[in-house]
Every structure is written in C-alpha cells, then in structure tokens.
Structure 1
Amino acid sequence: MLKIIIENLYHREIKTLESDRKVIELIHENYIDWMHACGKKGRCTSCKMIVVEGNENLSEPTEREMFYRENGRLAPNERLTCQTQLKSGTLKIRVAEINKFPHVDYGEG
C-alpha cells in the first residue's frame, strides 16, 4: 500500500495500490483541491509540494524540475506534483504557503 499524507490539510491520507502515478493525479482523484495553473504540464511551479518525508519513494526529478531548481524557483525539498510519480512507500508533504487556496481550510500540523 502506498500512502500520501498532507500534513497541513489535517494530515489527510491518500492510499493507493497503484505505483508510478503522478502525485497530483492521486490528490485530485481523492477530491482534494490542489493548485495547478498550467494544466499539469510542468510549465509553472503552482503545483509544488514541500516534501517532509519520503523523497526516496519518488521518481527522479524531471528536466522541468531541474530547470526550476537551477533558477531558484524550487527548493531542494520541493517537487512539482504534476511531474513527480509516487513509486513506493509513504510520502509526507505540505502545501506551500504561496500555493494555498483562500477557500480551503488548512490545518496546522
């Protein structure tokens, strides 16, 4: 069983049996609003997640993610949910402050 825990959404858990799925697909399939301004094409950083734990369970950074890292738009602990696949295990993430929706209640935690 693979699992995503979104810490600042009241530790919301997403469980799946499917590996190699993009993180944003799993989030949206579980009816969670998550920002994505460019249509999930890796052309912006609006869907970024802060990886708290489980980076080793993710696919390698894509060319687009490396471009944004090199240009200072993604920190080493940040990934694009539209580019990153969950390969195994558990992933703990946070919604970046800049990418929070005003209509969503983000719990601290």
Structure 2
Amino acid sequence: MPEIEISNLYKRKIITNSTEKRALEIIHENFIDWMHACGKKGRCTTCKMIVEEGMENLGELTAAEEKFRNQKRLADNERLACQAVVLGDIKIKVAEHNKFPHMEYSD
C-alpha cells in the first residue's frame, strides 16, 4: 500500500490501498486541503507538489506537466498533484506560494 508523507504538514502520512489514483485524489480523500484552482484539469500549477523522495514512484509526466516544464513553470522536482498517479511511496511538500492561510505548516 503506497504511503504519501507531506513533510511540511507536520509529517502527515497517508496510506492508500490504491495505486491507480492521482496524488490530489488521495490527499482529498483523507480530508486534507490542497490548493487546486482549475478543477483538477491540469490547466494551472496551483496544486504543484515538491517531490522530496520517490519521484520514480509516480506515473509518467502528463502532457499538461510537459507543457509547464517547457514553460519553466514546473521544476524537475515538482509534479502536479492533480496529474501525478501514485504508484508507490512518496515524500512531498507544499510549495510556499501554494499554502493555505487557514492551515498550519511545519516550515
């Protein structure tokens, strides 16, 4: 069962029994707020997650992610949570400019 650790959300860990879901779906199913402005369509970068460990445990880049990489809006260590399929354990964090004001972060 894949595990998602959100390192700057007080090391919040999520365990899922699915390996076919996108990161944002799993995060929301566990009642964690995560910014997303385009309705999970891959049209913006507000759901960006910084991947600290486990990039190899995410599915292939989608066309939307490739587009943002080419535009330099998505770094090599970043993925869109609405697009990235979780295949195994990952450790991620919320980008500073994508943090919600109503949530407490550990850094």
For the aligned pair, the TM-score class normalised by the smaller chain equals: over 0.9
| Cα displacement (A) at 1:16 | 1.0
Which 5+ residue runs of structure 1 have no aligned equivalent? none
User: TM-score when scaled to structure 1?
Assistant: 0.96
Q: What's the counterpart of residue 20 of structure 1?
A: 20
Give the total of aligned pairs.
Answer: 107
Q: What's the counterpart of residue 99 of structure 1?
A: 98
For 1:93, the aligned partner's letter is I
Q: Alpha carbon RMSD of aligned pairs, Å?
A: 0.6
* SS class of match (1:50): strand
User: TM-score when scaled to structure 2?
Assistant: 0.98
Indicate the structure with greater strand content: 1
For 2:3, the aligned partner's letter is K
* SS class of match (1:32): coil
Identity score, percent: 58
Task: Extract structure 1 runs of 4+ deviating beyond 3 A.
Answer: none
Which 5+ residue runs of structure 2 have no aligned equivalent? none
Q: What's the counterpart of residue 84 of structure 1?
A: 84
* SS class of match (2:39): coil
Report 1:41-80 matches (<5 A): 41-80=41-80
